[in-house]
Amino acid sequence: MSFFDVHAHLTHPKLAPDVPGIVARAAERGVTAIVSNGLNPGDNEAVRALAAAYPRIRPAFGFYPVDAVLREMDAMGKSYPREGPTYSADEGVEWVARNLGDAFAVGEIGLDGYWVPEELWAAQETVFRRLVAIAMEADKAVIIHTRKRERRALEILLEMGATRVIWHCFGGKVSLGRTIAEHGHYLSIPANARRSESFSRLLQTLPRERVLLETDCPYLSPDKERSSEPADVAGTAAFAAELWNVPIATVDAVVTDNFTRIFRAPP
C-alpha cells in the first residue's frame, strides 16, 4: 500500500531539524508522497530546497492568508505569533507566479477571519483571487486554508470556476463540507480524526471520491503528547477502514485514485 500527506509543514521549526528522520519514518509506514506547503516567499524557498533533497517531498508554493495582510496588521497593532520577515501582497503573489513551474500545487492560500480583522478582509480576498487565477491559468491544484470564512471562500471559488481545489483541515460545519464535496472539491482529513468528532463525521459521511489525507504537521496530532508527522496518515487510513467497514487496501485504492485525479500525478 502507498499513502500520502497532501498538507504538511516540514519547514516548521519543530520539524525542520529532523526532516531525514521524518521522511524515513514516513517511508516505513508506506507514505510515498508528502506535499509540503509554503506560507510566504521565504518559506516557499525552504520548501523548494527540501523537495530537491528528498524526492518523496512535493513542493506546494503559497501565500498564507494571514501573511498576505501581515504588514497591514502590524501597522494596525494587531498581533500574530509569527517570526521572520513580512512580505507585501505583490511580493507574495509575484513570487508564486514567477516560480510556478517548480510547484506541484499552489498552497497554502485562502481566507482567514480568525486572526485577520474584518477591515482587511477585502484586501485578503484580492490576494486570494489573484493566487487562484494564477493556479487556474497554470492548471495547478490549489490547497486552501479557511478559518471562519469557509462559506465566503466557497462563493469565490465557485464564482471563479475553480474545480481543482483541496480544502485543507476544513473547520466549518459538516453540512457545508458535504456541499463543498457536491461541487467537486476535495477535503483532506487530518491525523487527529479519531479524537475529533467533526473530522470523524466528515470522514464517515463525505463521498469517498472526495476524501484525501493530511497531517498539517506539526499540528493536529493523533497523540496530544507529540507533534504530528506524515507517517501518521497511515493511522488515519486505518481509521477510515473502520468507519467505512472495508479493508485498508480499499481505502488505499480510493484515496490514491483521488490523489491522482486532483494532482494529475500518482502519489
Task: Dump pLDDT digits (tens) for 139-162.
Answer: 999 999 999 999 999 999 999 999
pLDDT the model gives residue 9 = 98
Q: What is the pTM of this model?
A: 0.97
Helix residue ranges, H only, the chain:
19-28, 41-53, 70-76, 89-98, 121-138, 150-160, 174-182, 197-205, 233-244, 248-263
Using omega within 30 degrees of 0 as the cis cutoff, is the peptide bond preceding 150 cis? no
pLDDT the model gives residue 82 = 82
Q: How far apart are CA 177 and CA 85, in angstroms?
A: 34
pLDDT the model gives residue 181 = 98
pLDDT the model gives residue 1 = 79
Backbone angles phi, psi at 23, to 5 degrees: -65, -40
Please give the residue range of the domain that contains residue 209: 3-263
Q: How far apart are CA 146 and CA 180, in angstroms?
A: 13
Report pLDDT digits (tens) over 56-86. 999 999 999 999 999 999 999 998 888 789 9
Section 226-247 average pLDDT: 98
pLDDT the model gives residue 97 = 98
The total of structural domains in the chain comes to 1
Q: Domain containing 91 — which CATH number?
A: 3.20.20.140
Q: How far apart are CA 124 and CA 67, in angstroms?
A: 9
The answer for residues whose C-beta is within 8 angstroms of residue 109's C-beta and 6 or more apart is: 62, 63, 64, 65, 127, 128, 131, 132, 142, 143, 144, 145
Residues in a beta bridge with 4: 33
Say yes or no to pLDDT of 262 above 90.
yes
Residues 37, 47 contacting (CB under 8 angstroms): yes
Say yes or no to pLDDT of 266 above 90.
no
Say yes or no to pLDDT of 44 above 90.
yes
pLDDT the model gives residue 236 = 98
Q: How confident is the model at residue 167 (pLDDT cuts 50, 70, 90)?
A: very high
Report pLDDT digits (tens) over 45-55. 999 999 999 99
Say yes or no to pLDDT of 267 above 90.
no
Q: How far apart are CA 180 and CA 57, in angstroms?
A: 27
Mean pLDDT of the chain: 97
Section 14-41 average pLDDT: 97
Q: How far is CA 14 from CA 100, 149, 218, 219, 228, in A?
A: 27, 28, 7, 10, 10
Q: What is the dihedral of CA 256, 209, 9, 83, to 10 degrees?
A: 170
Q: How far apart are CA 81 and CA 10, in angstroms?
A: 18
